[in-house]
Structures are given as C-alpha cells and as structure tokens.
Structure 1
Amino acid sequence: MFTGIIEELGTITALEKERENLHIHVKSGITHELKIDQSVAHNGVCLTVVAIEGDTYTVTAIKETLDKTSLDHWKVGDEVNLERGMKMGARLDGHIVQGHVDQTGTCTAIAEEDGSWRYTFTYDPAQNNVTIEKGSITIDGTSLTVVDSGKDHFSVAIIPYTYEHTIFHTYKEGTTVNLEFDVVGKYVARIMGNRE
C-alpha cells in the first residue's frame, strides 16, 4: 500500500531481459535504506527489491506487469518516481494507492498556466475505468486531483514542487504513463455495473 507521495527520483542504470522477465537496476538516494523483499513503487508499479549493490538496487518485472504498464518504454538513463510502502499509523498525505496499474494513458496536452501546469491525458474507456472532477488519480505513482473529466480523458494541475520533484518535468505530448484509478471509485463502478 502506498500514498502517491513521491519520495525520491531514481535513475535506471541497466535493463536486463531474462526470458520474459525484465531486471531493472535503479540508482537512488534511498538504496541504503532498502532491504531485499521490500516493495517499492516505480512510476506507480509495485516491484520487489531482489538485489542491492552499493547505491543501486534491482527489481524484476514479469510479462504480466510489462504488458499492462509503461515499463517496456523505459530506457537506461530514465528517471523514475520512487515511493516505499506506507507505514501504518503515519499520515496519509495523498490517497490510498495499491501500486497496481489499471492501464496506461497518453499525455495529449501540456499548458503553462502562470505558475502551474495543466496536463491532459487520454485513456482507453473500454476498460471501464472512470475519473470524476475533484476525485483522485495516480499518474506514474503520483497522487493527484482530477481537474476536469471526460469519458476517455482528464486533466490535472501540477504545482512547481511536484513538477520539479517528480518525472512530470520529463513529460511531452505522446508520453505513455501508468494510471491507477481511485480504488473506491473502482468498487463503486463495479457495484453499479452489476446492478444493470
């Protein structure tokens, strides 16, 4: 379980294919605090630490994860948003994030708005995920509030701190992102769907 509040930016130092698995080596300032078997969210994808060497650690993504996320777009040198699992009893500064990506989306517009940025994303509505205005969405592991919402798109507003301390500063039109829709909203959508 995560909160969507990014702790650190990591850098991908190596990518190794082994059959259908991908071993991802990440250099970060929190590596010295990690341990084997610990869960860390990488752009919103919960992955388990399998090795640690110096300031670099390794996680492994299986085919199921690669098929449903943006991990197959990653390259050596890319920055990634990192968050360790939440501590019970600590403040929940973002919202409840599972680290299970529902689907990917695409950045379709970036607008500067006199001190902030508005990013618009589209996604495939066939998977029945929904957003609502003022509801929560997780983009690449970052907990955000939906500014406006449509059937297949939504926008979020990004303050300077978030822009600088997450990978939002690397986004361009066409960037593929991981989306985790609000868990409460998913349950409500399922219940309502079962009534029809």
Structure 2
Amino acid sequence: MESCALAVDVSQTQSTGGGKRPSKANLVPRKPNPCSCSDSTGVLTKMYSENYIFRVINRVDLYPTFLTFAGATNPAHPLDHADLSPLIVDPQTQLASREIFWYFPWYSSFHRPRVVVRCGDWKLIHLFESGENEFYNTKHDIGEATNVAAEHPELVSALDARIAAWIDDVNAPRMTPNPEYDSTPPATTNR
C-alpha cells in the first residue's frame, strides 16, 4: 500500500449508554470509535459509519499494524497480538478467531484484581480475591448487567481453564498474599 496514513482512536472514555460500569479504564466494551485510513490523495475510508464493521481488537494489535504500514518487521520476541493491516486495507477481511486476555493482578481505583478472557461474544472475568467468575454475552448485554455464569457452567469452566493455561504460557506474575495485611476493620471513633 503506497503512502498510507493511519488514524486510530483508542480512547476508552465513552459510556456504553446505560452500562453498569461507565468509568474509564474498565473492561466493559464501549461504543466503537473511529478507525480510518487515508491515502496520499486525501480520500478517507472510514470503518465507522452508519454501517460500521465492528471487530474486537486489543491495543497491542496496533504495534504490529504500525510496523506493517511502516514496512518494518516484527521483533524476534513473541508478542500477543494480531496485525490489523489486512482489515484496514479491506474492511471486509475476517480476522482469525482468537481469545483476547487482560491481566490486572493489582488493585486500582477502577477494579479489583482480575483476569479477563474475551472469546467471540463471550467474556469471562475471573476475580482473584474470591475465585468467582462473572460471565457475560457481550452481543446481547454490552453493558454487562447480567452475569450468566450459572446458566453456562461448561463455557465458564472451559474459559477458566484457558485463563489458567494463558497465565502459565506467558509466565504472568502470580498474586501472593501479603503476610502483614490485617483485614480487621479500623476502629471507629465517635466525634
């Protein structure tokens, strides 16, 4: 592709329009943002319009995509990514089916420790503290308001096993208990 400029909006600040978790940096899908490609003649091909083409991607997918458009090669070390350049050149391209993982083994103001796998329309959120799973069908419940784990125990079990395998495959650091942590609530004082 000659002289191509790529513009991608990867912001996560849009609300789902009624979803239960509208804060930034959470794991709930957002309304798709524009992703476009323009050539040297200034013609802009938008992948987001009334008839947009929605694909689930991860931000790490942008790195190999930019490398392709720059004519560079991927580094020798393995990356958890997909090159999106074929999709940008031809929006009708089908991406290979894959699982996308997010790993957050720490506390933040946005979430508690968890690991997430997205597989097609399904998303499993494994909560480290309790060992519980939240399971959502993102096609029918984009705001993730209804946990359907109890209705799909086989899928939950299969994706939970994929999470465990992925953690081993990438040698992700494991959460370890803090031996100095005191779970006793602080004493309250009357003022």
Larger Rg: 2
TM over 0.5: no
Q: TM-score, normalised by structure 2?
A: 0.27
Q: TM-score, normalised by structure 1?
A: 0.26
